[in-house]
Chain A
Amino acid sequence: MSLHVEISHPLADFTLNVAFDAPTGITALYGPSGTGKTTVINAVSGLLTPQKGHISLSGESLYDSDSRINLPVHKRHLGYVFQDGRLFPHLSVRQNLTYGQRYSRPNVESPSLDDVADLLDITGLLGRRPGSLSGGEKQRVAIGRALLSRPRMLLMDEPLAALDPARKEEILPYLEKMRDHTRIPILYVSHSVAEVARLATWVVVLEKGRVAMSGPAETVLSDPAMVHQLGLREAGAVLPASIIRHHADGLTELQVSGGCLFLPEMDRPVGLQTRVRVLAHDIILSREAPKGLSALNILSGDITAIRAGGGPGVIIQIKCGEDHLLARITRRSADAMALKPGDHVYAVIKSVSIARTDIGTG
């Protein structure tokens, strides 16, 4: 299952011109507001007809301007989770959830209402009306409703943007579960790097209506060229990790390809595959193996790229094991240390800098 998009469409300030593929897993469509993300996802859903191009899912054309194919929205069978929930106010939660089932494709294996309600923890809400639900509950019901319509793919347009941080935390684990337990591709629009880092398996970065870069999340997020798009404060690499031990002193030991990391105790089982996000400004570089430091987490590797920005900082990409780290240090330090590609360096990561919200399962 894979989605192929290649469209152009005039917008107010520029022309949207994008081409990308979205494989199974969560593909994040990332970019600041007004770069055409919602236009792209609406074109995929059929709610908007682009001026030119084609969109296909697993080889089947949903839209093709050349051969005048434009499958109507209801025949595309793509579940859409909107930013604002859009639950039907005149129906109960249960009726909302089952709404799409009667129009779904026949002979398709589908999750049961019980399974989905269980996955999203909304069994207790089934008899209620949407008007009486909290924002987080509404959004979970909206996700369940989309899942139960047996979609070929899920589209999510900033499903967490309207929620406060606590409610976001409430939903993120369910999205991770969905990514890991359902086999349908998910196109996920977001302007939050933290969300993308936590959820995405594939990232498409949009900039003013064009694809600036697309690729696996680890590659895109640790590419020095992407620092500008992601924003200096948010720049950072995502490393696949697995939990190997819980220590008695309240630390959890994780294995990454370049070594071991210690994090404040995680409430997750040993053996679990996860990923950690290391922000570029939370790394200190050293030429020699640091001694007498309070920092627990030190990885070493070779510099693969140095990229100077407009300001006083430079971004340094380091290959640690199989993965890349990004470090942001001052140009002055880089010059003083005479850093150049190929040099071996030690990256000191303050363990507290790996924020709890940046730890994702999967």
Chain B
Amino acid sequence: MTGWLGPEEWQAVGLSLKVSLWAIALSLPPGIFIAYALARWEFRGKQVLNMLVHLPLILPPVVTGYLLLLTFGRRGPLGAWLYETFDLVFAFRWTGAALAAAIMAFPLMVRAIRLAIEAVDPKLEQAAATLGASRVQVFSTVTLPLILPGVIAGAVLGFAKAMGEFGATITFVSNIPGQTQTLPSAIYTFLQVPGGETAALRLVLVSVFVAMTALALSEILARRAAKRVAGG
């Protein structure tokens, strides 16, 4: 296996996996929270929040990447503060790639989870409350178990999106081998040099494999979610 991909290619695949896993792990809890708020609560600014969440889906990725650079760059308002307070740097680091991937995957994840939450009958949550469960307890014992397959499906979809993120990542954190050169960036780089086509093709195959596995997995889990909510 190791002979099939060169060290630089392995590095890109490994980095992409690391970046995507971190992106999904850290954005999942706020993703569930925002999906719940959008599905169940009425509040001022709900439409604005909904728009903000979906913005990365509509904006050109380069624009998102540039906005991230402006905000989270070393001199950006949030970037400077995070650096001074937590010694956390995003610009031109793998952490920045993870942030960009998380932002780009967020709308897909929230959409999937929100659909799962909307499929849960609020009457079940009311019933749980009459049995003495507080809001948090109702969520963890009724809502979450019922939406879990939907959450996993959303996470898988988000993971696949994070693996493929290119525009925002390259704009925000550039294309540094071993640091910010993710799988799509590596493919792009290989295509720029003469004789790089075979390496690019190998990475394309890896990408196709990851994407298809993720889609199949999310399909299976979504079906299980439907069955579970129906009480099979």
**Co-assembled chains A and B:** yes
Binding site for B on A (CB under 8 A): 45-47, 72-80, 82, 84, 86-90, 99-100, 103-105, 129-131, 145-146, 149, 155
Closest to A84 in B: B123
* B229 proximity list for chain A (CB < 8 A): 89
B230 adjacent to chain A (CB < 8 Å): yes
Are A74's CB and B132's CB within 8 A? yes
B126 adjacent to chain A (CB < 8 Å): yes
* A90 proximity list for chain B (CB < 8 A): 142, 145-146, 228, 231
Nearest Cβ distance between residue A236 and chain B, in whole angstroms? 34
Q: DSSP majority for the B interface?
A: helix
A-B contact pairs, 18 of them (CB 8 A): A47-B130, A74-B131, A79-B130, A79-B131, A80-B130, A86-B127, A88-B124, A89-B146, A89-B228, A89-B229, A89-B232, A90-B145, A99-B133, A103-B133, A103-B134, A129-B232, A131-B230, A146-B130
Nearest Cβ distance between residue A187 and chain B, in whole angstroms? 13
* A155 proximity list for chain B (CB < 8 A): 130
Count of A-B residue pairs with CB < 8 Å: 78
A80 vs B128: C-alpha distance when bound (angstroms): 10
Nearest Cβ distance between residue B123 and chain A, in whole angstroms? 5
A129 vs B134: C-alpha distance when bound (angstroms): 24
Per CB-CB distance, the 10 closest pairs between chain A and chain B, nearest first, are: A89-B231, A103-B132, A131-B231, A100-B131, A80-B130, A86-B127, A73-B129, A149-B131, A74-B129, A90-B145
A77 vs B124: C-alpha distance when bound (angstroms): 17
* B133 proximity list for chain A (CB < 8 A): 74, 99-100, 103
A329 vs B127: C-alpha distance when bound (angstroms): 47
Closest to A79 in B: B130
Nearest Cβ distance between residue B230 and chain A, in whole angstroms? 7
B189 adjacent to chain A (CB < 8 Å): no
Nearest Cβ distance between residue A91 and chain B, in whole angstroms? 8
A256 vs B229: C-alpha distance when bound (angstroms): 52
Are B232's CB and A78's CB within 8 A? no
In-complex Cβ contact of A82 among B123, B137, B138, B141 (8 A): B123
Nearest Cβ distance between residue B223 and chain A, in whole angstroms? 15
* B131 proximity list for chain A (CB < 8 A): 74, 79, 99-100, 103, 145-146, 149
Closest to B130 in A: A80
Chain B CB within 10 A, most for which of A80, A87, A90, A155: A90
Further 20 A-B residue pairs, CB within 8 A, beyond A73-B126, A78-B130, A99-B131: A72-B134, A73-B129, A74-B132, A74-B138, A84-B123, A89-B146, A89-B229, A89-B230, A90-B142, A90-B146, A90-B231, A100-B133, A103-B137, A104-B132, A129-B232, A130-B231, A146-B130, A146-B131, A149-B132, A155-B130
A149 vs B128: C-alpha distance when bound (angstroms): 11
Are A131's CB and B232's CB within 8 A? yes
A82 vs B127: C-alpha distance when bound (angstroms): 8
Nearest Cβ distance between residue A161 and chain B, in whole angstroms? 15
* A-contacting residues, B113-155, CB 8 Å: 121, 123-124, 126-135, 137-138, 141-142, 145-146
A105 vs B132: C-alpha distance when bound (angstroms): 9
